[in-house]
Homo-oligomer: A and B are copies of this chain.
Amino acid sequence: MNHIPTTVSVPVPQGLRPRCAEATCFVRSNTPVNGEYRLLTLDAPEAILDCQPGQFFQLLCPQPDGEHPFLRRPMSIYGYDKAEGRLEFLYKVTGAGTRGLATLRAGDAFNVLGPLGQGFSMQDDWQNLMLVARGVGLATLAPLARMAREKGRKLTAICSARSPELTMSVDLFESYGAEVIIVHDKDGSSTPEALRPLIEARIAKGDVDAFYTCGSSRLLRLLQDLGETHGIPGEIAMEQQMACGLGMCQACVRSFRVGGRVIQRRVCREGPVFPISEAM
């Protein structure tokens, strides 16, 4: 693991309560969720727990045997609770960094940087929300469930997975009063072609004021199309390789279509949440 002392306090501009900070957390638990996913629960200091759904942290991953992740790894906030001092990440083990995360054991110290980026908005006239998520995208969208409940919005969550056993977070969505629709690849219910009539039926009932999604470009295109046809706005959380996570290095740009022009924006700073209509 890399050596980042966090005890030295550094001067912070007058009046600025750091919007984000490096902090040492301690692992409460780090448990498998299903085949490929794990849930990491941390004891985190208050200072970093003013989070918004859709924001992320940059995690300094321990080095697994024989591998040497160097850059921090971006992870969406899966859960957070300031009163309880709790911070959660749901992650899929895919490479060196996430293999390193999987080695964390209860009691280990762990350095995180955040919260970072712009979270989801929930505009006042977005009363009926529809969320369409797949795979690790659920980690990013899950905190919307609590936010919707707190703001008294109605939430429908379409959870997509390879097979029914692999859906995640269904209980979490339901515990916040969301209606959950499970679709999967085995019976073909997760294809854009199958989803379209399902969503259109809801739209027809006036049940959809806004979409939220994450990741999959097939879902993005479907929702862009439906959104344009029916005049429904929405937000998408996007991913890109990152170095700094703060906006300094310009590693994480993606292209967006804005007012007829293609422009580049930093996923870590202007995002990771963007209007569905502008995403490419």
Contacts and interface: CB of A to CB of B under 8 A. Distances in A.
A185 to B, nearest CB: 36
A29 to B, nearest CB: 21
A65 B65 CA distance: 16
Copies of this chain held together in the complex: 2
Contacts of A1: 65
Contacts of A217: none
Interface residues of A, number: 7
6 contacts: A1-B65, A2-B66, A3-B65, A3-B66, A3-B67, A5-B66
A68 to B, nearest CB: 9
Interface string A44-76: 000000000000000000000111000000000
Nearest to A4: B66
Contacts of A66: 2-3, 5
Interface string A1-18: 111010000000000000
A3 B66 CA distance: 4
Interface in A181-233: none
A67 B5 CA distance: 13
Contacts of A67: 3
Nearest to A3: B66
List 3 tightest A-B contacts by C-beta distance, closest first.
A3-B66, A3-B65, A3-B67
Contacts of A3: 65-67
Nearest to A67: B3
